Chain A
Amino acid sequence: MKTALVNKFSRSGKLIRADIVFRWLTVFGAAIVVLVIVGIVLELLLHSRLSIKQFGLKFFISRAWNPVTGEFGAASSIYGTIITTLIAMLLAGPAGLAIALFLVELAPPKLSRAVGVGIELLAAIPSIIYGMWGLFVFAPFMANYVQPALAKITPRFPLFQGPPMGIGILSAGIILAIMILPFICAVSREVFMMVPGVVKEAAYAMGGTTWEVTYKVTVRYGLHGILGAMFLGLGRGVGETMAVTFVIGNNHSISASLFAAGNSIASTLANEFTEASEPLYLSALIELGLALMVLTFGFQVIAHLWLKSIRKKTGAGL
Chain B
Amino acid sequence: MKPRSRAKRIFVNRLVMAISAAVSGLFLFILGWVLYEVIMRGGATLNFSFFTKLPTPPGVSGGGLANAIIGTLMMTVLAIAIGVPIGLLAGIYLSEFGQEGRFANVVRFMCNMLMGTPSIIIGMFVYALLVVPAHRFSGYAGAVALAILMLPVVTKTTEDILKLVPNTLRESALALAAPRWKVTLGVVFRAGKSGLLTGILLAIARISGETAPLLFTALNSPYWPRRFQEPTANLTVTIFNYAMSPYADWQQKAWGASLLITVGVLLLTVIARSALAERRE
| Chain A residues within CB distance 8 Å of chain B | 1, 3, 5-9, 11, 16, 18-19, 21-23, 25-34, 36-37, 39-40, 43-44, 46-47, 95, 98-99, 101-103, 106-107, 115, 117-122, 124-133, 135-137, 178, 181, 209-212, 214, 235-236, 238-242, 245-246, 266, 269-270, 273-274, 286, 289, 292-293, 296-297, 300-301, 304
Are A132 and B24 interface neighbours, CB within 8 A? no
Q: For A22, A33, A101, A119, which residue has the most chain B Cβ atoms within 10 angstroms?
A: A33
Whether A43 touches B38, Cβ cut-off 8 Å, given contacts A7-B97, A33-B90, A242-B240, is: no
Bound Cα distance from A40 to B261, whole angstroms: 28
- Determine the main DSSP class of A at the interface with B: helix
* Residues of B with C-beta under 8 A to A132: 38, 239, 243, 254-255, 258
* Residues of B with C-beta under 8 A to A9: 174, 179-180
CB distance from B262 to the nearest CB of A (A): 5
Are B94 and A30 interface neighbours, CB within 8 A? yes
* Residues of A with C-beta under 8 A to B106: 34
Considering only CB atoms, which chain A residue lies closest to B178 in the complex? A9
Are B31 and A1 interface neighbours, CB within 8 A? no
Are A135 and B89 interface neighbours, CB within 8 A? no
Considering only CB atoms, which chain B residue lies closest to A246 in the complex? B243
Are B273 and A120 interface neighbours, CB within 8 A? yes
Are B240 and A32 interface neighbours, CB within 8 A? no
Q: Counting CB contacts under 8 A, is B209 at the interface?
A: yes
Considering only CB atoms, which chain A residue lies closest to B16 in the complex? A211
Are A29 and B92 interface neighbours, CB within 8 A? yes
Q: For A19, A127, A128, A246, which residue has the most chain B Cβ atoms within 10 angstroms?
A: A128
Q: Counting CB contacts under 8 A, is B67 at the interface?
A: no
**Mind listing 11 A-B residue pairs with CB under 8 Å?**
A1-B100, A26-B93, A29-B155, A33-B151, A34-B107, A40-B122, A44-B128, A99-B24, A126-B210, A209-B9, A300-B112
Whether A293 touches B117, Cβ cut-off 8 Å, given contacts A30-B93, A129-B261, is: yes
Which of A3, A28, A181 lies in contact with B27, CB distance below 8 A? A181
* Residues of A with C-beta under 8 A to B120: 239, 241, 266, 269-270, 289, 292
Are A99 and B20 interface neighbours, CB within 8 A? yes
Bound Cα distance from A6 to B184, whole angstroms: 12
Are A3 and B167 interface neighbours, CB within 8 A? yes
Are A37 and B258 interface neighbours, CB within 8 A? no
Which of A1, A29, A125 lies in contact with B86, CB distance below 8 A? A29
**Known contacts A124-B266, A131-B240, then 18 further A-B pairs from the complex at CB < 8 Å, ordered by chain A residue:** A6-B171, A9-B174, A18-B181, A26-B90, A33-B90, A33-B107, A36-B148, A99-B27, A102-B24, A119-B24, A121-B31, A121-B266, A126-B261, A181-B27, A210-B17, A211-B16, A273-B127, A300-B113
Considering only CB atoms, which chain B residue lies closest to A235 in the complex? B116
* Residues of B with C-beta under 8 A to A214: 16
Bound Cα distance from A6 to B16, whole angstroms: 55
Considering only CB atoms, which chain B residue lies closest to A26 in the complex? B93
Q: Which of B152-169 contact A (CB under 8 A)?
A: 152, 155, 163, 167
* Residues of B with C-beta under 8 A to A26: 89-90, 92-93, 96-97
CB distance from A166 to the nearest CB of B (A): 15
Which of B104, B113, B155, B184 lies in contact with A297, CB distance below 8 A? B113
Are B117 and A128 interface neighbours, CB within 8 A? no
Whether A95 touches B27, Cβ cut-off 8 Å, given contacts A37-B110, A128-B209, A129-B34, is: yes
* Residues of B with C-beta under 8 A to A266: 118, 120, 212
Are A241 and B255 interface neighbours, CB within 8 A? no
Give the size range of B's interface with the partner.
35 or more
| Chain B residues within CB distance 8 Å of chain A | 9-10, 12-13, 16-17, 19-21, 23-24, 26-28, 30-31, 33-34, 37-38, 41, 85-94, 96-100, 103-104, 106-107, 109-114, 116-122, 124-125, 127-129, 148, 151-152, 155, 163, 167, 170-171, 174, 177, 179-181, 184, 205, 208-212, 215-216, 219, 236, 239-240, 243-244, 251, 254-255, 258, 261-262, 265-266, 269-270, 273
Are B34 and A133 interface neighbours, CB within 8 A? yes
Which of A129, A135, A292, A301 lies in contact with B209, CB distance below 8 A? A129
CB distance from A109 to the nearest CB of B (A): 13
CB distance from B181 to the nearest CB of A (A): 4
Which of A106, A236, A270 lies in contact with B212, CB distance below 8 A? A270
Bound Cα distance from A288 to B170, whole angstroms: 49
* Residues of B with C-beta under 8 A to A117: 273
Considering only CB atoms, which chain A residue lies closest to B183 in the complex? A9
Bound Cα distance from A28 to B119, whole angstroms: 23
Considering only CB atoms, which chain A residue lies closest to B182 in the complex? A18
* Residues of A with C-beta under 8 A to B17: 102, 106, 210-211
Bound Cα distance from A282 to B124, whole angstroms: 11
Are B12 and A22 interface neighbours, CB within 8 A? no
Whether A296 touches B118, Cβ cut-off 8 Å, given contacts A98-B24, A118-B31, A137-B37, is: yes
Which of A1, A44, A101 lies in contact with B99, CB distance below 8 A? A1
CB distance from B88 to the nearest CB of A (A): 7
Whether A241 touches B179, Cβ cut-off 8 Å, given contacts A26-B92, A37-B113, A269-B124, is: no
